[in-house]
Structure 1
């Protein structure tokens, strides 16, 4: 089931044009003045994102987003719900996941739970069959080599879904018992198309990388998602611990199997059709963070490739859309550019290096701006990270590790730049499964190898 992805602009004509304009400008103004113009352009982008970060921090520290708008009016709404969990080579986590699904507190006659074993080569299918037996959980076995990654597995199960609302969890997630109702209640409002809950990391102590991911999630959900929700009513549907109307999903052709970030794709398709995406911080589940730099790179590279693709697919449609306000279009554009800003930061770092080495001579009057550049580059993200810690009351335990976000920032620059170049030259890329850890041995790599397989659904 294909979702009808919007076509990306063909060719590299725009890149050739941009290179020509830069060459011509450099020839007229000189390399130094060209560097200053590029530097000021990057500074302007940094300033815009800094103001955005500051607005999110101010909004989330002043107002609560716990239940979302009108939460008290939705207490009596109990729609039928289908929970979908795609599983590919998940033997390390699948037993804990099934146990958590069995504790979901929702009327059983209105709840359907489907786990999709997606062509696994390990014991995932066997473990699902054994532990789901007698629980009311349906296990579907998708043949190997079907393609489509996580989206393909979800679309395979969607044909069996009976609920008015579809909720998705990943195999490493452990939803809290009340999460289904907390997500589903928002659909009492017919303008709501999807709802995102709060994801927490349960293995933050497994390794320094896992601890950094834990802090990143705190900032992402407690500040970024909350800020987008409070200011613009435009939080992102995050792909797990999230709910969507089944009729909207079906009418759109299901999840997009041509992208590796089906969540961003669906967020944009719903927003362009005029539906709200809400955020509910009381709908909590826990997930596993990657524990090594290698797995971190693979996971974030996938996010970058998919998000950058969404920019190419939807940038024009956003500004042509008549349902969105101007501020909504501006925020959506900035949301789509999130994985492009590290690329611009890398370009700024290159300019700084050339200036330091004397390869590019810049007017001394701009020397002070170099300091401002690096201040803005880090201050916005650190505001979010610090605010996330404050809101979660975990400052004392985690504040010391914030310094490691500086080298991780440059890791982000490198992986986003690689993703941008690979996307520009249309290098083939398919779903990459996130590696899991063996239960009882935090931080140890799973015996399941993360495979570059389009059938993976992790």
Structure 2
């Protein structure tokens, strides 16, 4: 029994150490972001004397709710008509294709090309690669189906390619439906930390950043030089980003340029997105981490790239630490380990403090009063942490599949266009109604940690009460909202 407890202690310590090291990297990014705020935003370089040719790629697969809005939005882009072309990269097998054909007829003066493939091989990466072969543009702008870029997008981004080594320019995601529900608010809470703190921090360090799959623009030569779009990971954007930057291309991030998009309003859609992101991140880590560590990049760049590529592994650490904490709590109640062991665990509070500061800073961005920002943070941050913990099992499975090389298809995130109020989310044709086994496991874990928390109170042992309470709340909330969305209640 003592050997088992020591093994659990080592597992818990290793998981919490990983989280601590990751939080220290986040702390450095927060410091760099604060410096960026003092220095001011990026100034847009002068417009080129002759605007270059731009191809706007719109990868689409079964997007009947949002594709018409997408076409209307990009048709309004302010750019010389002779210097732009639009590619509708349409892999759909439903009425989306007919909607596209009807919509582009409204813009006979614009060069829309409706491109169909014989099959969906390579998924999004395959569609982008196929379109690139036919693209006339020197630069390639990419928008997913739920994005609504402003008319000035190209004139705000293209001038930043004045430096010949600049290979990609990424803009900041904004949120069309942030206020739709608690779930969308929590997603905005999380994404803002990435698009403000992480992207700005890494960019200011000249460390590796990533193209976020959409709302960015590439130099075509960069894509080709880096080996083109590849489909051996579920995050073709992160994969290409690292291949390009390892080749020496520079990336530019523009937090002041907003690109609004839709947030998944239901848990099943969010889980689909999270699974793809976390598994693809793990696959990209397997593919590129060795190359990063062997490269001639500065040590600081290597450290942040390591944290970046391994960020999805935090869910594995949370899952392992939570499970190992149960026998450790039992050991503490029964005096089977020295008290100093548990006192040393207080250092993990540093991780919590850093993450709190990161999300507080991200939440503070925006045109709202200080009292509303603080109130919003106090309300949403505990919920965000709890639900993040509740997603640990689901995302840890994705990470494990990525590490082990198990392949799975690219599952698109269903889009809704609920802002138009034309239908309820329950009526969405694309929602998956098959509930995976992990959802039942999440419910059981919620009950388990609830029982552990209650047992700790009975034993008057409160050291892990907050941790276990948040785990119970997170797993039960994830289970409830998952069940609701899969069953379309």
Q: Corresponding residue for 1:18?
A: none
Q: 1:122 to 1:234 in 2, by over 3 A?
A: same
Offset of residue 346 of structure 1 = 1.6
Q: Corresponding residue for 1:367?
A: 342
2:165 equivalent to 1:191: yes
Q: Corresponding residue for 2:56?
A: 83
2:406 equivalent to 1:434: no
Local SS of the residue matching 1:285: strand
Q: Corresponding residue for 2:237?
A: 263
2:208 equivalent to 1:227: no
Offset of residue 61 of structure 1 = 2.8
Q: Is the 8 A contact 2:88 2:113 kept in 1?
A: yes
Count of equivalent residues = 420
Q: 1:450 to 1:162 in 2, by over 3 A?
A: farther
In 2, distance between residues paired with 1:445 and 1:313? 39
Q: Looking at secondary structure, tell me which structure has more helix per residue.
A: 2
Structure 1 residues 18-417: aligned runs within 5 Å: 30-64=3-37, 68=42, 71-76=43-48, 78-118=51-91, 120-133=92-105, 134-143=108-117, 145-322=119-296, 324-358=297-331, 361-373=336-348, 375-394=349-368, 396=372, 398-399=376-377, 400-417=379-396
In 2, distance between residues paired with 1:267 and 1:211? 28
In 1, distance between residues paired with 2:225 and 2:32? 35
In 2, distance between residues paired with 1:232 and 1:380? 22
Offset of residue 185 of structure 1 = 1.6
TM-score normalised according to structure 2 size: 0.80
In 2, distance between residues paired with 1:209 and 1:182? 32
Q: Is the 8 A contact 2:262 2:417 kept in 1?
A: no
Residue-by-residue CA offset, 1:399-449 (whole Å, 9 max, x unaligned):
322221122121332122111333344433110011111442386246331
Q: Is the 8 A contact 1:345 1:377 kept in 2?
A: no
Structure 2: runs of 5+ lacking an equivalent: 434-489
TM-score normalised according to structure 1 size: 0.85
Q: Is the 8 A contact 2:318 2:389 kept in 1?
A: no
Q: Is the 8 A contact 1:232 1:328 kept in 2?
A: yes
Residue-by-residue CA offset, 1:58-90 (whole Å, 9 max, x unaligned):
22233248754xx45443363321110111111
Q: CA RMSD in A?
A: 2.5
Local SS of the residue matching 2:256: strand
Structure 1: runs of 5+ lacking an equivalent: 1-25, 453-458
Q: Is the 8 A contact 1:85 1:171 kept in 2?
A: yes
Local SS of the residue matching 2:193: helix
